[in-house]
Structure 1
Amino acid sequence: MPKRSRELKPVEVKQKPDGMHAAGGVTGLYLRVSGDARNWILRVVIGDRRRDMGLGGWPDVPLAEARERAREARRKIQDGIDPIAERQAKRAALVSVPTFRWCAEQTIAAKRPEWKNAKHASQWTNTLTTYAYPRLASVPVDQIEVGHVQQVLAPIWTTKTETASRVRMRIEAVLDWATASGYRKGDNPARWKGNLQPLMPAPGKVRGVKHHAALPVDDMHGFMVALRDRDGMAARALEFAILTAARSGEVRGAQWSEIDLDAATWTVPGERMKAGKDHRVPLSDRAVALLQALPRMAGTDLVFPAPRGGQLSDMSLLAVMKRMKVPAVPHGFRSTFRDWASERTAYPHEMAEMALAHAIDSKTEKAYRRGDMLAKRARMMQDWSNFIDTPPATGNVVSLNRSKSA
């Protein structure tokens, strides 16, 4: 037989320290103490899930009443009734206007199909939970005003400006959903232009945009010479990323099944692309040679697997650059490629943008770029590779640490 908890006495309720304390008398009844707060919790199994059901706080709910509420809840469960769902339904019937938190949850559910991965939903939930819910969670959505939004944003507006901007936009989206659903009327108090704009400093002026550190175009030859002198899969992945002007994540996730060495193309599937569309990458002679020289690890289709299997981490390529003491980051090579295309070639702007798989804003440009210019881009990527392999005309080769490292 399970051990029965000693029954708590009324006089002991006020004496208990922080923590969970079995109340006894009813299976699963606990007193939860946190500072001055003392609340009754009933731990039960409803269906196949263990649930914690709040029964009220002491002293408003004394020990005897807590035990009676616990017995009643257990009777309902035995009769096939979920007492938690029943209570929620009764509360909802009393409240005609939902809370901000409920609306936020509905907004996330409504937008989930348009997001490319589950990270977006977790990012929304995490930022709203951390910054918005402490002040807005229980506020009826039709009562939220500009002052409420300012209270959320003010503490982080100048210290976490980028995060604060995202929080503002997410609050705005939740309130837009509430308005469209008929739960509130009037202007959106989280709107920036003509609303919060006169009351708060512009995000761009609070903290300037931080661009990815990039290597100057003329330093590319010296850097690549030093990079090719280094061993390790991360160094090869970084070299391939430079030759293809691809993002680190696209390269680290590259699979042999995506690569056609005979046609010298790499087709990145849409689920791994920022724009959500398949992206064909023409491979230069040097890129093909790099792939042909790579060893293939048994049990994986990854082109650049980690030494112990699986995908290289997002820090592995950066670690190579740090060991080389280069004041740049892997993503910065995309900017270097863009500078080379603009300043050293006659290739059109739209071709370089397509090579970088950037989203297209102009409707005219979208219509013009229905194809992917693969043949022309192949010439451009070969020229990029040739440029990297050619020492600068001045002979001014950048000096880099060339000690070998994995």
Structure 2
Amino acid sequence: MRKNSTCLYALLRILVCDRCVMEGVSTMSNVASLADKRAQQGVSRASEKISVEAAALTANKMKLTAERVRKLEGRAQGRRWVADTETKGLYVAVEASATAAKSYYVRGRIGKGRAAKRVDIRLAAVGDLKLNDARDAAARIMQQLRHGADPRRRSADETLTLAGLIAAYEENLQQRGVVRWKDTIGTLNRWLDKLKVRDAKTLEQLDYLNAITHAERTVGIPSADALRRAITGMLNYAAGPVKHLPYSVMAGYRKPKGTRAEKVARSKGKQPNLRDAVEFRAFWAATESAHTDMYRDFLRVLLLTGQRSIELAKLEWCDLDLEKGIWHARAETRKNGEPMDVPLGPLSLSILKAQTVGGVTDLVFPNKVGGVLDSQTSGARLKPIKAAMETSCGRGDVALHTLRRAYRTRLSEMEVPTDMAELMVGHKRSDLEERYDHDDRFGRRVEIQNAYEAWVKETVSAEG
């Protein structure tokens, strides 16, 4: 009996040990499986984190960080606004991808309610201002806005910085309906950026002249001249009835007479011309390289009408009388602020009639989002046309204003009288208003336009 009990006990021990071994193996297998599962989850979470971060960079609202601001990219056209979820009213403005310049802005309303006026206040370029400082500035400005105060204006004992003066001048230009106010303000912001934190009253003529000299050495004389005109206009406004400044430090300043070298440089800096039939034909063919058929047609209508690019960019369907062949250019779209009837010949009419009517905009030649084509991003859109021109005739320097210049030059070659040619391109001449009756004047312009378009059609159809 005792011997049997001993054997049974030994058998039980063997069974128990075998089970323990099996459970141990199973446990080790479970541990390994769990480790693999957690590793896979780690990879998945890392991938998910990367995907979330990539998605965040394409959103228009996010918690901004210095790294995210650095990685923000612009759109193909137009400005991109990215709001900071941490500070109400703080935005990063990213310019079109051609430049991708970034600036901190505060966007809000002066006062309360939807009827309150919206304002966009630029703080500084991203590289010139830390994110935390931008948040602090945005919080202060938003508090002022909520109380109905415009931070760009000042009381008698407050300092008006140059940034504030530029913002006030921008508002003035918009109120006056200046067509190309964006170009003027963009020029001031670009070349005076380092002076914008200064008290506008402490800036001297030399400060502005140094900026003009820098623009000339960096880009060229035409850009320097544009900056000088923009500064003079701003300071004349500031010293006027608004009395932001007691006087203009540029008053009485006259640019020194140009040397021979400067005149040569100026002539090189001018927009080029299409000098003959060969270059007209080359340009027409080069427009086939445009990124869209719509932009190809936009360029061709510019060449056919000789009008300013911004005026054509703002053309709406309601401005066109396609039956009579007239473009009624509205006063608010024109540089001189006066309406004008532009005659359209058979070739320009055929192009206009081919455009898509309707959609989300009334514009004939809208950008991708239905807005006005921006002249400041024209360089990127013209790249394929310039490349094609360079290949075909060695003229890769074509620009939008080239087409207006080419139109006016061709009218002279057609022996169109100077005064009538000036009317064709929309130059205001009071003496012409007195000399010609409107009907006679327009009838003659129709004849000239038809003759010009017939020449263009024959030229571009001929084999090179």
User: How do residues 244-323 of structure 1 correspond to structure 2 at under 5 angstroms?
Assistant: 244-292=305-353, 294=354, 296=356, 299=359, 301-304=362-365, 314=378, 316=381, 319-320=384-385, 322-323=387-388
Q: 1:234 — aligned with what?
A: 295
Q: 2:426 — aligned with what?
A: 357
In structure 2, give the amino acid aligned to 1:388: V
Of residues 429, 438, 444 in structure 2, which corresponds to 1:371?
A: 438
Change (3 A) 1:371 1:321: farther
Shift of 1:169: 4.0
Residues in 2 aligned to 1:312 and 1:179: alpha-carbon distance in whole angstroms: 34
Q: Does residue 384 of structure 1 match 2:384?
A: no
Shift of 1:267: 1.8
User: How do residues 53-72 of structure 1 correspond to structure 2 at under 5 angstroms?
Assistant: none
Q: Structure 1: give runs of 5+ residues left out of the alignment.
A: 1-18, 20-27, 29-45, 50-76, 400-406
Change (3 A) 1:112 1:306: closer
Q: 1:35 — aligned with what?
A: none
Shift of 1:336: 2.3
In structure 1, give the amino acid aligned to 2:405: S
Q: Is the 8 A contact 1:168 1:190 kept in 2?
A: no
* Greater relative contact order (Cα < 8 A, sep 6+): 1
Give per-residue Cα distances to partners, 1:142-180, cap 9 Å, x unaligned: x55444444544444432444444444444445545555
Residues in 2 aligned to 1:248 and 1:376: alpha-carbon distance in whole angstroms: 24
Helix, strand or coil: the match of 1:382?
A: helix
Of residues 236, 239, 250 in structure 2, which corresponds to 1:190?
A: 250
Q: Does residue 114 of structure 1 match 2:176?
A: yes
Shift of 1:208: 0.9
In structure 2, give the amino acid aligned to 1:382: N
Residues in 2 aligned to 1:255 and 1:183: alpha-carbon distance in whole angstroms: 38
Q: 2:29 — aligned with what?
A: none
Shift of 1:279: 2.5
Q: 1:336 — aligned with what?
A: 406
Q: Is the 8 A contact 2:274 2:280 kept in 1?
A: no
Residues in 1 aligned to 2:261 and 2:251: alpha-carbon distance in whole angstroms: 14
Residues in 1 aligned to 2:244 and 2:309: alpha-carbon distance in whole angstroms: 44
Shift of 1:379: 0.6
Shift of 1:214: 2.5
Q: 1:348 — aligned with what?
A: 417
Change (3 A) 1:201 1:149: farther
Helix, strand or coil: the match of 2:218?
A: coil
Q: Is the 8 A contact 1:221 1:390 kept in 2?
A: no
Q: Is the 8 A contact 1:318 1:330 kept in 2?
A: no
Shift of 1:382: 1.0
Q: Is the 8 A contact 1:145 1:189 kept in 2?
A: yes
Shift of 1:309: 6.7
Q: 2:277 — aligned with what?
A: 218
Residues in 1 aligned to 2:457 and 2:402: alpha-carbon distance in whole angstroms: 19
Taking only aligned residues, the RMSD between alpha carbons, in angstroms, comes to 5.3
- Percent same amino acid among aligned pairs? 20
Stretch deviating more after TM superposition (304-313 or 217-226)? 304-313
How many equivalent residue pairs? Answer: 316
Residues in 2 aligned to 1:353 and 1:307: alpha-carbon distance in whole angstroms: 34
Residues in 1 aligned to 2:178 and 2:208: alpha-carbon distance in whole angstroms: 28
Give per-residue Cα distances to partners, 1:114-157, cap 9 Å, x unaligned: 2425x62x55555545544644754472x554444445444444
Give per-residue Cα distances to partners, 1:221-250, cap 9 Å, x unaligned: 744884798893333333333332334444
Shift of 1:378: 0.8
Residues in 1 aligned to 2:305 and 2:147: alpha-carbon distance in whole angstroms: 59
Helix, strand or coil: the match of 1:331?
A: helix
Helix, strand or coil: the match of 2:427?
A: coil
Q: Is the 8 A contact 2:317 2:363 kept in 1?
A: yes
Q: Is the 8 A contact 1:234 1:312 kept in 2?
A: no
Change (3 A) 1:189 1:304: closer
Change (3 A) 1:197 1:377: same
In structure 1, give the amino acid aligned to 2:305: T
Change (3 A) 1:340 1:296: same
Stretch deviating more after TM superposition (252-261 or 230-239)? 230-239
Residues in 1 aligned to 2:216 and 2:400: alpha-carbon distance in whole angstroms: 29
Q: 1:8 — aligned with what?
A: none
Q: Which structure has the larger Rg? A: 2
Helix, strand or coil: the match of 1:357?
A: coil
* TM-score relative to the length of structure 2: 0.51
In structure 1, give the amino acid aligned to 2:348: A
Shift of 1:385: 1.8
Residues in 2 aligned to 1:132 and 1:103: alpha-carbon distance in whole angstroms: 12
Helix, strand or coil: the match of 2:217?
A: coil
Q: Does residue 208 of structure 1 match 2:275?
A: no
Q: Is the 8 A contact 2:286 2:388 kept in 1?
A: no
